[in-house]
Amino acid sequence: MKFPPVIAVTSGEPAGIGPELCAMLAHQRHSARRVILGDRRLIEARARQVGLPLPLADFQKEGAPSPGALEILHVPLCVPSRAGQLEPANAAYVLALLDRALAGCQSGEFAAMVTAPVHKGVINQAGITFTGHTEYLAAKTGTPRVVMMLAGAGLRVALATTHLPLKDVPAAITRHELETTMRILHADLVSKFGIAQPRILVAGLNPHAGEGGHMGREEIEVIAPVLEQLRGEGMDLVGPLPADTLFTRGVLAGSDAQLAMYHDQGLAVLKYAAFEDGINITLGLPIIRTSVDHGTALALAGTGRADPSSLFAAVDLAVQLAQRR
C-alpha cells in the first residue's frame, strides 16, 4: 500500500499573511498529508481573527491523521506576534521553521517542503544575513549552486541571476555560471518534472539581444557560445532571444521552460500572467521545495482578504513532484 506523501508547510513571517494562508489549507480537499510548521496558538489566533474555523491535530509521524483536521507541528514563537507588525526578535523563529522542515525532508519524515513568505528585511534587521529561501536552503544543504524557477499560466521561468542589483548582473553572467544554470535547469526538468527532452527558450541580456553587438556583447561573447556547446550535447535550446519577443504566444508555443538573465526580466512577465497562483520552485536541491510567489503582504495580514491560491498551487506541485520520485 502506497501512503500519501507528507508535505511540510512552513508558516513564514508571523506578522504577515502566512499563518492565515496556512489555516486556509484546512478547507482545501487533498489526498496528501499537509503538516503546518508554526506556533499553534498563533495559527489558531489568526484563524479566529479572520473568522475561519480551524480543526487542528498534532502531527504524529507514525500515526494516522485525524479526519477533517489540519495537522500542525508546533514550533514556538520567540515573542508574541501581531498581524502587520514586524518583530526582529522572531527572526530566529522564522529560520527555525525552515530548519525543522529541511531536517524532516532530509530524514524522509517529509516528502517535500512548501514555504509561506518570509520578510528578508526584518531577518537582516535582527543581525542575521539572509538573502532569501533559495540561498538559505542551498547553504544549509551544502548545495554549491541552485536555480530559482517560478511557474504559472503555462510558464516555467528560471533565472540566471537572482537577488542582485541590476548594475551587478552583467558581471555575474559568466560562461561557467550560465552553463551551470542550464545544466541544473535541464536536469530537473527531466528528473523532477518528467520531461524527457525539454525545449528551453533563453533570453538575451541586452535590448534586442544585443542587436548584433551594437547594444552589448554579452550575447556574442557569453550566452551564444554556452548554448552552442550544450546543443552539441543534445539539449534543445533556443536563443539568445530578445526578451520582449520571447514571452509572446507564438514564440512560447512548444517550449517547456524559459531562462531569463535577471530577476525582473522574467518575473515581471510571470507575475503579470499568474500572480494569484504562481509558484516558486528551487531547482538543484537534494529535496523538493516549492513556495508562494508573493511576499508577506503585511497590510493584508489579519484582514481575511489574502488569496491562498498561490499556496494551494505550491502544495499541489509539491505533491506531484513527490509522487513522481
pLDDT score of 1 more than 70: no
Taking only the tens place, the pLDDT of each residue in 68-86 is 788 999 999 999 999 999 9
pLDDT score of 298 more than 60: yes
- pLDDT attached to residue 2: 61
DSSP character at residue 303: T
pLDDT score of 3 more than 80: no
In a 13 Å sphere around the CA of 84, the CA atoms on its Cβ side amount to 8
Tell me if residue 57 falls in helix, strand or coil.
strand
State phi, psi for 172 to the nearest 5 degrees.
Answer: -80, -15
All structural domains of the chain, each given as residue ranges with its CATH number in brackets, are: 1-143+285-325 (3.40.718.10), 145-283 (3.40.718.10)
Least reliable range by pLDDT among 65-74, 195-204, 274-283, 300-309: 65-74
pLDDT score of 34 more than 80: yes
Taking only the tens place, the pLDDT of each residue in 180-192 is 999 999 999 999 9
pLDDT score of 130 more than 90: yes
- Cell numbers at residue 2, please? 502506497
Maximum CA extent, the chain: 65
d(Cα 316, Cα 310) in Å, to the nearest integer?
Answer: 10
Burial of 304 (0-12, 13-18, 19+ CB in 10 A): middle
